[in-house]
Structure 1
């Protein structure tokens, strides 16, 4: 007896259960897929990378050197230059003092030699003139007068030397005061520059700290 199609269908071997592929399990919903592929996420990643590079670039100059360290080195270099300048100034003052001392000794020696020479010439001239009259009396008188002239000449020359020395000292004092004023002005400028450098360094560090904190917040 022929089998009906129904019976053949009912007796057909059961089809194996369809296994869900792993791909379907891992598949994401269209919403998540579109969210992952959205340009906002890519741009945020790019922004984070740029912000990190900017934070690194702002703490360094165009040569790649650390700005705060460079400022510190410039301040130390300025202090070293100031120390060397002070040492050179002290050396120059000491050399000037030694030069003045040698000059005074030389002037004193020249005055003494010139005075002795003039006195000897005057004595020889007066003695030669007066010897013809009264040798003994005139010689004594001449010697007395020569001594008097010598004292007057020494006094005049000393007064002239003192006058020149006073003028020279006044000029040196004026120059010294000008240099001290310039020194004070320079020190004031250096102090102001150091303050500005420190303030700039502190502002830079505070900005970098705020920027790093913002970067950290963006990353989180």
Structure 2
């Protein structure tokens, strides 16, 4: 497998080198053609200037008037040739830029494919290692989760115990308050009952005294009446008795 990858990389590098060599060869050919074209254009310009100088030295003023249209045509032709050369140069530059862009895109594409292939190969080689790492992380996460759950349950139990303590304390406090209220109520009831009993006893005592006083008054009245009756009876018994005899003296 390693040999196949090395052969693939070697063949890829060889293709890249061959393509770059061809591209450089075509670029050099285009440069040489452009230089030859510019050289021919400059040679024609020099020839035309030389012919003009020789012709002007041997011709008269009348000949210049006759050759004026020819000069205009030559200048126009020269301008056309210069424009054509400039257009050719621009075309070659655009073609060169396009070829370079295509080469860059092809290189980037092949590099991307090579990187993707290398990544896939590395992932395949490290598949077991990755799976083991994933399992290790899963187990670690499970342990952490279990620990967190135990801590949460412990906190919940502690909170429940604390809540139960508070509830019991509250119930005890309420029970004590209720007992105190009941004690106070019982004390008040007992106090009220004691006062009521005392009042009832006092009332009974007063009634007894009133009855005794009434009985005493009744007894005194009876004694008085009895004494008066005795006085009356005694008076009756104290009268002299009259005796009458029918046989007389």
TM-score, normalised by the number of residues in structure 2: 0.38
Task: Specify which structure has the higher proportion of helix.
Answer: 2
Structure with the bigger RCO (C-alpha within 8 Å, sep 6+) is 1
TM-score, normalised by the number of residues in structure 1: 0.43
